[in-house]
Amino acid sequence: MVLALWLTKIGVKVRIIDKAEKAGTTSRALVIHARNLEFYHQMGIDQVPLKEGVQINALSFWVGGKKAGHVPFGNIKANISPYQYMLDYPQDRQEEMLEKELANLGMRVERKTELISFEQMPGGGIRAQILKPNGEKEECEAIYLAGCDGARSVVREQMSVGFPGGTYEETFYVADVITKGSLTPGEINIALDRADFLATFPINSSGEIRLVGAIRLEAMGRKDLKWEDVSGGILDSLKLEVEEVKWFSTYRVHHRVASHFREGSVFLLGDAGHIHSPVGGQGMNTGIGDAVNLAWKLGAVIKDNANPKILDTYEPERIAFAKKLVATTDGAFAFVSARGAFSTWVRIHIVPHLLPWLFRFTRIRRFLFRTVSQTLIKYSQSALSEGSAGKLKGGDRLPWVKAETGPDNFASLTTMKWQVHIYGETSASLQTLCNERGIKLNIFQWNAAVKTAGFQKNAIYIIRPDGYIGLAAPNADLQKINAYFDKCGITGI
């Protein structure tokens, strides 16, 4: 729906089908990280989750039913993002919000409608066979097909793309519960004295929390899992009193990345391309990142006649991050769920004291925030990334600079178009060039905050529609700028 919403907002006609009868009613993924709130701001939809969601401001560790360590997320002493926190806003509510936004634009999700098969036509494009709610089959033609159809993706299977990886031994469970107890609102809690993973996340300010755990069923001597099987350990570990269990479910988790994210006119996004441990709350956020990355590129090619080679950058930009993410979450989960005397001793006696001590250092807090929030993602190896100016290079995320007065430098990104940023002064020749290309030239005042963010005074920064730097040039080299525009087929019209 993020892919469809971005494309619809920039004037590209799309069709979105879903074999499910209705949108999800269970919360599944919970956390929106800063980078995706920035994307939501670009699309004009960030205010709903900000109003209805719950800010997460700290992480607490529990040992033996007592809070043993506390790590605050705030006070990172750096203007990294307008959203310097994690936000709990459940996936089902996000889907509801996105579907309403699409409906407001005259776009509806075609439910109980299933993709049966598709073929890529010799001259380009897709011919797909669709099963409609009334049982009739329909043949549909499209320029491109995006497979956002989850871990068991029909699109991926018909592409004959490999999905290498494995499956965790543990069975994961999730439960949304109403509680009483000693948990501090707005915090994530992790029990460290258990070999089985256990964490809590706030859902709202009324005492509803999400429990996420993992357990090895063979150790229990059974093949299925019920709330009664895990509730005792949960209550002891975190001293909770559960008043109501609103939802309980179990699932197995895989760690896999598709061999390719693109084949001709067909693309894979989200769980169809990569799945991994829920540790870190990265899955949904990474899928949204995939959608934004592909959306602006499809829009540029379809609507603005940009060079189709732009689409070649989708896979290398996103698959590299997906592989790194799977490796990182695998390592994190292996640590928190490791068995054995030494691993347990480290979790109980070292981690609760070491992490709070480490987080006394601003640099470490800042690095962790940038990593988890996905604001650290960059595309320096992309074919679209060129040059450097100041501390910034092509492929870096545009740094956020908080304005002393008036709009900040992210306000211009709501156009969802290519643009040029200058921090300082510009020349008449560059202004003329941008006018001829139909590219908006944004000039910002030079000050200490801009310098701290890494910009170079009077340098040229060509900004992609997704807020990443395409070209960074230390001076107004019009020949280099024109060459970059020509390579990408960039136009702002």
Residue-wise pLDDT for 343-390, tens only, equals 777 777 787 778 778 777 878 878 888 888 899 999 999 999 999 999
Q: What is the dihedral of CA 389, 392, 398, 402, to 10 degrees?
A: -90
pLDDT at residue 220, as a whole number: 61
**Do the domains spanning 2-52+86-163+257-324 and 386-488 agree at the CATH topology level?**
no
40 falls in which pLDDT band (50, 70, 90)? Answer: very high
- Rounded mean pLDDT, 223-236: 80
415 falls in which pLDDT band (50, 70, 90)? Answer: very high
- Rounded mean pLDDT, 78-102: 90
77 falls in which pLDDT band (50, 70, 90)? Answer: low
Mean pLDDT of all residues belonging to the chain = 88
- Superfamily of domain 2-52+86-163+257-324 in CATH is FAD/NAD(P)-binding domain (3.50.50.60)
> Using one digit for the tens of pLDDT, what is the confidence trace for 451-492?
999 999 999 999 999 999 999 999 878 888 999 998 887 765
Domain ranges of the chain: 2-52+86-163+257-324, 386-488
Query: Which one has a higher pLDDT value, 27 or 129?
Result: 129
Record the pTM: 0.92
Domain 386-488 has what CATH class? alpha beta
Q: Which residue has the tokens 């269970």?
A: 26
> Using one digit for the tens of pLDDT, what is the confidence trace for 147-186?
999 999 999 999 989 999 988 778 888 888 888 777 788 8
Least confident window among 92-101, 332-341, 381-390: 332-341
- pLDDT for residue 25 is more than 70: no
233 contacts 194 by C-beta, under 8 angstroms = yes
329 falls in which pLDDT band (50, 70, 90)? Answer: confident
CA dist., res. 419 & res. 434, Å (int): 9
